[in-house]
Amino acid sequence: MSLVIGDISKTYPNGVHALQNIQLEIPPGMFGLLGPNGAGKSSLMRTIATLQDADTGTISFHGLDIQKDKTGLRRQLGYLPQEFDVYPKTSAEDLLDYLAELKGVSDRKARKELVDHLLAVTNLTSMRKKAVATYSGGMKQRFGIAQALIGQPKLIIVDEPTAGLDPEERVRFHNLLADIKEDVTVILSTHIVSDVSDLCQNFAIINHGKVLVRATPKEAIERIRGKVWEKRIERNLSNNLPADQIISMHLSMGDQVVRLFGEDLAFLGAEPVLPTLEDFYFITIKGLKV
Amino acid sequence: MMATLWSNLRFELTSRKRFLSPYIYWLVLTLLVFLMVLATGGAFKGTTINFGLGQKVFINSPYAINLYSALISLFGILIISPIFGQAVCKDYEAKFDQIVLATPAHRTGFYLGRFLGATIVCILIFSGLALGQYLAAALPFVQRSLFTAPRLSAYLVPYFSVLIPNIIIFGSVAFAVGSITKKMSAVYIAGILCFMGYLFGIGLSSDIERKVLRALIDPFGLNAMMSLTEYWSVAEMNSRLVNLKGIFLWNRVLWLTVSLGFLALALTFVQRAPKPSKKKKSEKATDEAGDEVEKKKAQGAASNLLPNVPLDFSGAARFRLFVKQTLFEAKSSLKNIYFICLTLAGVIYMFALNGQVGGKIFGTETYPTTYKVLELSSGSFSIFLLIIMTFYTGELLWRERQSRTDQILDAMPVPLWLNSMAKFAAMQIIIASLLLIVGLCGVIIQLAHGYTRLELDQVFTTLYSIQFVSFLILSAMMFTIHTLVNNKYIGHGLFVLYTIVMIYLGNAGFDHVLYRYGSGLGGARYSDMNGYGPFLLKIRNMQLYWLFGAALLLTLVYLFWVRGTDNAWSRRCAEARKRLTRPLQIFVALVLVGFIAQGSHIYYNTNIVNEYKTEKQGEKDRLAYEQTYKAKYDQKPQLKLAKVKAAVDIFPSRLWLKSKVEFTFDNKNSGPVDEILVNLPVKKKFVNLEFDRPTEIVVDDERMDLQILRFKTPVAPGEQVHLVYSIDYGYEGFRNDSTPTAIAANGTFFNNQSYFPSFGYQDGAELGSDKLREQYGLKPKLRMPPITDEAAKQVTYVTGLDADWIDFETTVSTDNGQVAIAPGYLQKDWVDGDRHYFQYAMDQKILNFYSFMSAKYEVKRDSWNDVKIEVYYQKGHEYNLDTMIDAVKQGLAYYSENFGPYQHRQFRILEFPRYATFAQSFPNTIPYSEAIGFIAKVDPKDEEDLDYPFYVTAHELAHQWWAHQVIGANVQGATMLSESLAQYSALMVMEKKYGRAKMSRFLKHEMNEYLQSRSSEDKKELPLYLNENQQYLHYAKGSVVMFALKEVVGEKALNHAIRVFADKVRYQNAPFTTATEFVATLKADLDPKFHDVIDDLLTRITLCDNRIQEHSVKAEADGTYTIDLDILGKKVYIDDKGDENEAPLARDFEFTVKDEEGKVMLTQNYPIKTGQNHLTIKVPKKPKVLWLDELGIWIDKNRDDNKITL
């Protein structure tokens, strides 16, 4: 395990229990942190990124206590916050150069090469002279990941990077992340299930500041195999399906499609379907039981 | 539209209701004005602040309430701007604009509603002003005598004349700026620029010519109000409401119109939503286009997404990073548009003020010497510098968080000290660059004036080694406040509060440099003669001390620096404890040791080597002096000084003085004298007293430096007593209060009152201010004994109780290379080792008032008849030597012809450093400050320039007659016999040289000075012949009325009468003469028809208020013109209570008509009487200017309506 989160809790001054006894062991590779808005994902990410301290508990990265030696972690950290902006009127090139210097790349030539390289891999070379503040959402996120890649980070934290991106940009972003070497620990927080299913070897679901489950995507789907059912109902008809078994509802060609969770729901007129990670996510979040 | 307006108005009010800030603003304003009134009202014992209010003006008089309201509204802009700015900007700042603007609401109504809402909120906030003033005035512990009965209207009027108009004016500016830029920071800058308008207004020199412009340009209306009321008497200030009239009304109309323009502008601009920038689209396009190429590149690179780069976290790399980071931070501030705007405004302001370097004296410039230019530039720029510092401390500290880059940057592997200290260092670069601008502008100003004697070393020392350090130390405090409170706006607020508290602490008697952060770092007065003189010693010591202090503060900044997203106070404290590592603890301990050690060194200097006395202690000492000694010693017969023989050794290089003085006393009383009260000039350990008969010390008062000795055998009438007084004293270390400068390395100047003892009770040492006296339970003090006081006529007003005329001789020595000078004729001089001795003797009696000087001098010599003229001056100050000598020659000629012979064979002018700015007349010796005549730049071609080196020299020379020959008794009116007559004498010499027409400029200044000063009179205005050593009377009014008298009775006749008086009283012994005798002599010598005008001018307070009511000009067939005029004549006397009473006017006034080229076509006297006067005047050409009393010899309350320009 590379990152060990040991029983951390955090209560904000306004009384919100943002994190409650979080325990997680995260191996190298891509790790997804899945949860709805307000689940505590960002609090956890910021804590790992040394931007805030937990009230109790420890976090260690390859044996380094990150709350004690913050600079030690920061030297191997790449961080893309959920919300960020940049200084107005500053070009991507200048800004990356500046950030690279802050990250310890003090040799001017090496820095120039690195910046050129990062701009190339994030597809921003033609835009390098433009002010980052004028970038579109997707370009800005690519810039964000470029800066997070500076200085061979061993730990990369990307907080909700795909929120608000169009499908094409999302794919582009996924490709970028997928190229990161395997010995690097990448933590990706998201509320979009396909981010996890597309990219992550491991993931955890977190809600109300608690870890609900930690698994690989495959394991997760296995766990609910054969227990997911689907029923199609005309839209204006009221349904009297058992609420504690509904995973999700959506519309399809004007009809309402309801996915249900249970051992055998054929008696309701539902048909068995292949489970998805999304089903697992909703089941976990809603706490549905067989 | 109306519905939208109404709903927005309501929204503005209800949404404000939930914020804390309006309530805080209200509280702060109310408290501020409350404390102002309490402080002026004497509620805090020992403080005498008056915010520009005369002592006799009631603190709740209409005038005072208006003044305070206007002053507060200067600060009110800090409240008005954000409230109105937010009324437009809040939608944009909260990114709510698109939602709001998408509603179908009527835009004009929408924003008009917001505007009105903001106006109401502001009015409610300002409602505290009247309340605060009223409550403070009603409290039982204010001094009742300073208040009058409250009047509701007095409290209400300022709202309509000042406060509400200002809210609308500045509100509309903020509203317009907000709607154009949609940015609050721009709104703040606009507010600051408005404040500059006020500064510009007062900065537009004190030239009378620009009075109207000055009043109009100030958007706050304060200058206009001051202009309207500048000649108001105390009685008027106490009773008249400051209604909107005249220039004040015009100011308000002008600015309200301007504000309507701003509002219209705002309403036009808010119609347009901010356009989504076109640029963005085109950028996107290029992005797509370049995509394909890039994709390939990216695929190539992707194999190595995290390339190997050398990472360097060594100390050297960190240091390089620190330097770079500092430059980065500084550059981003310096490039900022607001920064450039503010700096430009400052520079313009600096140039505007420097148009007349150093504040003109009588409208005449001085040469732009380096120190003058520096003082003016940095003085005028310092307010900008402070504002920029305050503003950018906030910007620097909040830059990352505002641009929301903070999360990325805080996660960087950069040590904490690097972030925080780079920002601090960046602030120092900002300050240093601004000071560089000040220096450059200074040099440019000098060159622009054609002055090429640049002293860059002085520029550097003043700006960098003195001012920069003090700004650095101040900025450490700003950083600390901002870091600790961690809220930009509260940080700014607290800093302003801190500044006010620091000022108040000083006024409240907490004045020690050790605990007033950043104090004692300035106050150096550079002199061409003496360089930085004694000031640097204290400054360097204080710099070291406060740099230690600043280092401690910066440690706090480091400890509490916010990094990351968690900024709960408990968390920050815990974090701070963690950051306080062992090495840092050692650092803090070392700095603390340094701080305490240096503090002790300062304490040793200020409190042990020198005496530390607060102002309040000083007051109490004076109180004790009066209460302990007055009753017994004030009227007690005492010995009179007859002869002084002084051996004075000045050691300029050591700032030391050794002296041995033989005093010879006579007992001129009818009975024996058994005691002598000696006031020592310094602590008794430095002096020694030895009488030639046995004495015992009966009182030894160390607190007051006073001894009373009893003669074992009383001194019989007619008997003589000798005293040998020695002093061995100098300046050691430095003091908490002002640095003494009388003994200087180059330019020593002191008189006998400084370092020789005085004998007998000195009523000048009593508390003078009536307000303070009342607080201490004393009766008001007479400024001078009444003119009828027979006992007071026994002494002159210059010398006091212990002496009048004395025999004088002295030997003065100084360091070789300097010249030492004292009154008298040089008998011989010799060099003994490194000392140069000068022996002076006076061949006749002089007043007991003499000076000693020593400096490295150049000398210019000349002579008039058998009188030797010598000017001792600093090399480089040759500019006006010829003028001075010319004035001496002409003066000697005029005065000896008209007033009697000159009593000496020699006349010397001696330059001394500008620590004081006067010239003073001692027997045949005139110490003359380097700041007033020596560097005056009189342009002979400039019509407006007044040759004041000539005037001052003539005035001081005249004192050889008026004071050193004719000296008044120590009663009311005494200074009329010295100062007013010296003014008259100088005026006559000036008129001879420059002609009568040129006198108008001088008279105008004098009349203006008189009219302005009489309204801030502390006690009571008196007629000239009863004046109580009041400058505005004996100089300003004296000049005008003596000139007027000359105009009426004629120069010859007046001089004859004055000569008769002089001959009668010259070198008189006690009892001395009075102004009563002078007036009586004039009346006796002049035609009785002049008696009434003599009384009007000298024994009454007489003011005219004439006015040209109607005028018409008719062109005649023969090419001439006929002018018809209606003139309203009015004359008033001011009675004992200060009230005006109309009196019949019947006097000839000169009337001048000028043609279109400004040439005088007609000057003729016409009789003007009270009421309507009709004049018909014929002139040959088309008239342009009609002017009643162009010269300005009759004091008129409003001279503007005496002139018509067609």
Chain B residues with CB under 8 Å of A98 CB are: 328
The answer, for A168 touching chain B at a CB cutoff of 8 Å, is no
The answer, for A50 touching chain B at a CB cutoff of 8 Å, is yes
Q: 10 Å Cβ neighbour count for B1192? A: 23
The answer, for B1200 touching chain A at a CB cutoff of 8 Å, is no
Q: What is the pLDDT of residue B932?
A: 85
Q: 10 Å Cβ neighbour count for B409? A: 20
Of A206-215, B15-24, B805-814, which gets the smallest average pLDDT? B15-24
* CA separation for the pair A37, A83 (Å, rounded): 14
DSSP B1171: E
Q: What is the pLDDT of residue B882?
A: 94
Q: What is the pLDDT of residue B52?
A: 67
Instruction: Using pLDDT thresholds of 50, 70 and 90, give the confidence band for residue B47.
Output: low
Tell me what the mean pLDDT of segment B451-460 comes to.
92
Q: What is the pLDDT of residue B653?
A: 94
User: Residue B206: is its pLDDT beyond 70?
Assistant: no
Q: Find out whether B1038 and B1059 touch, Cβ atoms under 8 Å.
A: no
In sequence order, which residues have a C-beta less than 8 Å from that of residue B394 and are 6 or more positions away? B482, B488, B491, B492
The answer, for B315 touching chain A at a CB cutoff of 8 Å, is no
Buried b (16+ CB within 10 A) or exposed e, B164-190: bbbbbbbbbbbbbbbbbbbbbbbbbbb
Q: What is the pLDDT of residue B357?
A: 44
Q: What six digits make up the tokens of B548?
A: 């230690």
What's the 3-state SS for B776-827? CCCCCCCCCCCCCCCHHHHCECCCCCCEEEEEEEEEEEEECCCEEECCCEEE
**Chain B residue with the nearest C-alpha to that of A149:** B306
> B311 vs chain A: nearest CA distance in angstroms?
5
Q: What is the pLDDT of residue B1059?
A: 97
Q: Give residue-wise pLDDT tens across range B744-780.
A: 999 999 999 999 999 999 888 898 888 788 888 888 8
Q: What is the pLDDT of residue B289?
A: 43
Chain A residues with CB under 8 Å of B320 CB are: 106
In sequence order, which residues have a C-beta less than 8 Å from that of residue B600 and are 6 or more positions away? none
> A12 vs chain B: nearest CA distance in angstroms?
8
> B275 vs chain A: nearest CA distance in angstroms?
14
Q: Give residue-wise pLDDT tens across range A8-44.
A: 999 988 888 999 999 999 999 999 999 998 899 999 9
User: Residue B944: is its pLDDT beyond 80?
Assistant: no
Using CB atoms and an 8 Å cut-off, which of residues 6-45 of chain A contact chain B?
A: 12-13
Tell me what the mean pLDDT of segment B21-50 comes to.
76
* CA separation for the pair B969, B974 (Å, rounded): 6
Q: Give residue-wise pLDDT tens across range B914-924.
A: 999 899 999 99
Using CB atoms and an 8 Å cut-off, which of residues 541-580 of chain B contact chain A?
A: 563-566, 568, 571, 575
Q: What are phi and psi of B181, to 5 degrees?
A: -95, -20
Tell me what the mean pLDDT of segment B1058-1082 comes to.
95
* Cβ distance of B413 and A77 shorter than 8 Å: yes
Of A49-63, B94-108, B591-605, B879-893, which gets the smallest average pLDDT? B94-108
Instruction: Using pLDDT thresholds of 50, 70 and 90, give the confidence band for residue B149.
Output: confident
Measured CA to CA in angstroms, residue B893 lies from B869, B885, B890, B928 at distances of 13, 12, 5, 21
Q: Which of A51, A88, A130 sits opposite B283 (nearest CB)?
A: A130
DSSP B1194: S
* CA separation for the pair B787, A212 (Å, rounded): 102
Q: Find out whether B349 and B203 touch, Cβ atoms under 8 Å.
A: yes
* CA separation for the pair B49, B38 (Å, rounded): 10
Q: What six digits make up the tokens of B426?
A: 């960046």
* Cβ distance of A105 and B312 shorter than 8 Å: yes
The answer, for A52 touching chain B at a CB cutoff of 8 Å, is yes
Q: Find out whether B874 and B931 touch, Cβ atoms under 8 Å.
A: no
Measured CA to CA in angstroms, residue A73 lies from A59, A64, A69, A102, A154 at distances of 11, 8, 7, 14, 9
* CA separation for the pair A289, A263 (Å, rounded): 10
Q: What is the pLDDT of residue B279?
A: 43
Q: What is the pLDDT of residue B282?
A: 42
User: Residue B49: is its pLDDT beyond 80?
Assistant: no
* Cβ distance of A101 and B413 shorter than 8 Å: no
Q: What is the pLDDT of residue B208?
A: 58
Measured CA to CA in angstroms, residue B589 lies from B546, B557, B771, B1121 at distances of 16, 16, 48, 90
Of A175-189, B26-40, B194-208, B269-283, the range with the highest mean pLDDT is A175-189
Helix, strand, or coil here: B1140? strand
To the nearest 10 degrees (0 to 180), the angle between helices B981-994 and B999-1014 is 150
Beta pairing partners, A56: A9
Q: Give, in words, the CATH class of A3-216.
A: alpha beta
Tell me what the mean pLDDT of segment B660-671 comes to.
94
**Pairwise pLDDT comparison (A161 vs B892), residue with the higher score:** B892
**Chain B residue with the nearest C-alpha to that of A117:** B301
> A226 vs chain B: nearest CA distance in angstroms?
40
DSSP B931: I
Tell me what the mean pLDDT of segment B560-583 comes to.
90
The answer, for A173 touching chain B at a CB cutoff of 8 Å, is no
Q: What are phi and psi of B218, to 5 degrees?
A: -85, 110
Q: What is the pLDDT of residue B1047?
A: 94
* Cβ distance of A99 and B287 shorter than 8 Å: no
Using CB atoms and an 8 Å cut-off, which of residues 178-207 of chain A contact chain B?
A: 179-181, 184
Q: What is the pLDDT of residue B239?
A: 84
Q: What six digits make up the tokens of B689?
A: 């007293």
Q: What is the pLDDT of residue B48?
A: 56
* CA separation for the pair B1113, B1123 (Å, rounded): 5
The answer, for B296 touching chain A at a CB cutoff of 8 Å, is no
Q: What is the pLDDT of residue B201?
A: 67
The answer, for A117 touching chain B at a CB cutoff of 8 Å, is yes
Nearest partner of B274 among B178, B186, B403, judged by Cα: B178
Q: Give residue-wise pLDDT tens across range A257-283.
A: 999 999 888 888 889 999 999 999 999
Q: Find out whether B1004 and B208 touch, Cβ atoms under 8 Å.
A: yes
Of A5-19, B91-105, B588-602, B662-676, which gets the smallest average pLDDT? B91-105
* CA separation for the pair B1115, B1123 (Å, rounded): 9
Q: Give residue-wise pLDDT tens across range B414-450.
A: 888 998 999 999 999 999 999 999 999 889 888 888 8
Helix (H) or strand (E) holding B660: strand B656-666
Q: What is the pLDDT of residue B122?
A: 92
Q: Among positive and negative, which fits the CA dihedral B435, B440, B446, B451?
A: positive
**Pairwise pLDDT comparison (B910 vs B310), residue with the higher score:** B910
Instruction: Using pLDDT thresholds of 50, 70 and 90, give the confidence band for residue B1013.
Output: confident
The answer, for B317 touching chain A at a CB cutoff of 8 Å, is yes
Q: Find out whether B1071 and B1162 touch, Cβ atoms under 8 Å.
A: no
Which ipTM was obtained for this model?
A: 0.89
Measured CA to CA in angstroms, residue B875 lies from B96, B872, B934 at distances of 70, 9, 11
What letter represents residue B336's amino acid?
Answer: N
Beta pairing partners, B908: B870, B925
Q: What is the pLDDT of residue A4?
A: 95
Tell me what the mean pLDDT of segment B486-506 comes to.
84
Q: What is the pLDDT of residue B647?
A: 97
Q: Find out whether B178 and B266 touch, Cβ atoms under 8 Å.
A: yes
> B338 vs chain A: nearest CA distance in angstroms?
15
CA angle B287, B290, B293 (to 5 degrees): 145
* CA separation for the pair B547, B549 (Å, rounded): 5
Q: Give residue-wise pLDDT tens across range B274-311.
A: 554 444 444 444 444 445 555 555 555 555 677 778 88
Of A220-224, B142-146, B705-709, which gets the smallest average pLDDT? B142-146
Q: What is the pLDDT of residue B295?
A: 53
Tell me what the mean pLDDT of segment B560-570 comes to.
88
The runs of H, that is alpha helices, within B182-314 are: 184-203, 211-217, 222-229, 234-239, 246-270, 278-302
Q: What is the pLDDT of residue B493?
A: 83
* CA separation for the pair B645, B842 (Å, rounded): 11
Q: Which of A50, A99, A151 sits opposite B311 (nearest CB)?
A: A151
User: Residue B1188: is its pLDDT beyond 50?
Assistant: yes
Instruction: Using pLDDT thresholds of 50, 70 and 90, give the confidence band for residue B402.
Output: confident
* Cβ distance of B280 and A134 shorter than 8 Å: yes
> A10 vs chain B: nearest CA distance in angstroms?
11
**Chain B residue with the nearest C-alpha to that of A122:** B298
The answer, for A131 touching chain B at a CB cutoff of 8 Å, is no
Q: What is the pLDDT of residue B358?
A: 46
Tell me what the mean pLDDT of segment A195-212 comes to.
93
Q: What is the pLDDT of residue B277?
A: 45
Tell me what the mean pLDDT of segment B471-497 comes to.
91
Q: What is the pLDDT of residue B896?
A: 96
> B201 vs chain A: nearest CA distance in angstroms?
37
In sequence order, which residues have a C-beta less than 8 Å from that of residue B570 and are 6 or more positions away? none
* CA separation for the pair B425, B333 (Å, rounded): 12
Tell which phi-psi region holds residue B718, choosing left (phi > 0), alpha (psi between -120 and 50) or beta.
Answer: left
Beta pairing partners, A228: A261
pLDDT mean across residues, chain B: 88
Mutate to test the interface with A, among B407, B414, B575 (most CBs of A within 10 A): B407
The answer, for B307 touching chain A at a CB cutoff of 8 Å, is yes
Chain A residues with CB under 8 Å of B408 CB are: 79-81, 84, 99, 144, 147
Q: 10 Å Cβ neighbour count for A240? A: 7
Of B93-97, B382-386, B1140-1144, which gets the smallest average pLDDT? B93-97
* Cβ distance of A120 and B298 shorter than 8 Å: yes
Chain A residues with CB under 8 Å of B414 CB are: 74, 102
The answer, for A69 touching chain B at a CB cutoff of 8 Å, is no
User: Residue B873: is its pLDDT beyond 70?
Assistant: yes
**Beta-strand pair B1146-1155/B1160-1169:** antiparallel
Q: Which of B312, B411, B413 sits opposite A51 (nearest CB)?
A: B411
Mutate to test the interface with A, among B304, B309, B336 (most CBs of A within 10 A): B309
What letter represents residue B1164's amino acid?
Answer: Q
Chain B residues with CB under 8 Å of A114 CB are: 307, 309
The answer, for A75 touching chain B at a CB cutoff of 8 Å, is yes
Of B91-105, B666-680, B1174-1188, which gets the smallest average pLDDT? B91-105
Q: Which of A50, A102, A181 sits opposite B564 (nearest CB)?
A: A50
What does the domain layout of chain A look like in residue ranges? 3-216, 226-274
